[in-house]
Amino acid sequence: CRLNRKFTFTFPSAIQGLEMSTGKVPFLEALNGSTVILPCTYASCIGIKNLYFNWQYNDNGTMQKVCESVIPLDGMDPHPVSIFRERVDFIGTGDHNNISILLWNITFEDEGQYTCFGRNPKEKGKNHSAIFTLVVVDELRVVDNTLTIIIASAVGGAIALLMTFMLVKNFILFVLFKIEEKKKIECLVQSSSADETNNVSGSKTSKPTTPKKK
């Protein structure tokens, strides 16, 4: 009898050598006319060689190139950097794997999504990217902290009330303990006095009487 067995082999997924990042908070709200930095860094566990990168702006679905360049090796600055958009400067450095750009005197037309793209030839043409969103406003919104203050005050008041209750409770228990202790002492004193009185009375009644002479 021959058994037919099927074996399934699971291969580990390929290690992602290159990672692009636009920070923990990949968006920014900025004033019209101000200067902003669009951050982007890269990291690779296998190292880089001739890393190609670019920034692209999403113009209603059409990707417009903002800048591009190539980084020869780890720790080296890209050179040259080609800029395709006005009011844009490249401020990245190879020492910190930084490929950030600066937008100065921004307008409402600069608002939207920017993609930081990278491709490392060591990974055989794999593409990696990260998105940063820029929002341009006339004035920055003032955050209303009224609700936060009310909640904090309520929580603080509740904690203070609880602490007051615990202090009063402990004080009452202390007073009751002292009263109970005082009662026990008084009871012991009264018991001791009663025993002494009984002993004196008993000694008087047990004294023999001498007969009278006729």
Q: Which two tokens stand for residue 173?
A: 């228990």
Burial class (CB in 10 A: 0-12, 13-18, 19+), 114: buried
Judge whether 22 and 117 are in contact, CB under 8 Å.
no
Maximum CA extent, the chain: 152
Query: What pLDDT, on a 0 to 100 scale, did the predictor assign at position 13?
Result: 42
Average pLDDT per run of 10 along the chain, which is 214 residues long? 45 65 96 97 94 97 97 94 97 95 97 97 92 93 70 82 83 82 75 64 55 56
Against a cut of 0.85, is the pTM above it?
no
What is residue 124's DSSP assignment? T
SS3 call for 7 = coil
Query: What pLDDT, on a 0 to 100 scale, did the predictor assign at position 4?
Result: 52
The residues, any chain, with a CB within 8 Å of residue 15's CB and separated by 6 or more, are 45, 46
Query: What pLDDT, on a 0 to 100 scale, did the predictor assign at position 214?
Result: 52
